Amino acid sequence: MGIVINQPLEVRLGEILEHLEITCADDLTEETVFAGGPVQIDHGFVLHNGSQAWDSSLKVSESVWLTTSRDILKAIGASEGPPQHIVALGYAGWEAGQLEEELAQNSWLTVPADSDILFNTPYPDRLKAAGRKLGFDISLMSGEAGHA
């Protein structure tokens, strides 16, 4: 599975938390929520930093976690959660072997999880930052798929 981190939704965090009957600190009500992908768009995912284990947390890298539980949303709403986080609705998913096949066909560019790109780079610049991490300017790529 994957979480898209650069496609904002029109809905804001305050609206999501209100729907879940979770109190939201005033300074967080307008926080951006992302379209994490087309699968289960009614499910929330939180990418975050920190080492605190929340219910239903999965370690993505040394400094990045993915959590799907309500406890982290309550903590974020109360300004007691991880200070760096991304809230997304839905995820991208693949059937068994599908992603491996797409990777073999050079359909994807992959980079290790990078907390600086995730949390410190404005979302419109995240794709370009990932390209720079791979050593090239992604804006110079054409929209045509192909093999090198």
Q: Give a yes or no: residue 40 inside a domain.
A: yes
Residue 143: predicted pLDDT: 60
What CATH number should be reported for the domain holding residue 81?
Answer: 3.30.70.1300
Write out the residue range of the structural domain in which residue 88 sits.
8-96
Name the nearest CA neighbour of 72 among 61, 60, 59, 83: 83
Distance CA 46, CA 65 (A): 8
- 144 part of a folded domain: no
Indicate whether 138 belongs to any domain: no
Q: Which residue has the tokens 């992959």?
A: 110
Please give the pLDDT value at position 86. 96
Residue 119 near residue 65, CB atoms below 8 Å: no
Residue 51 is assigned to a structural domain of this protein: yes
Q: Quick one: pLDDT at residue 148?
A: 45
Q: What is the mean pLDDT of each run of 10 residues along the chain (148 residues)?
A: 92 94 90 94 91 80 89 92 93 91 85 89 93 87 56
Give the pLDDT of residue 72.
Answer: 93
Domain membership of residue 65 (yes or no) is: yes
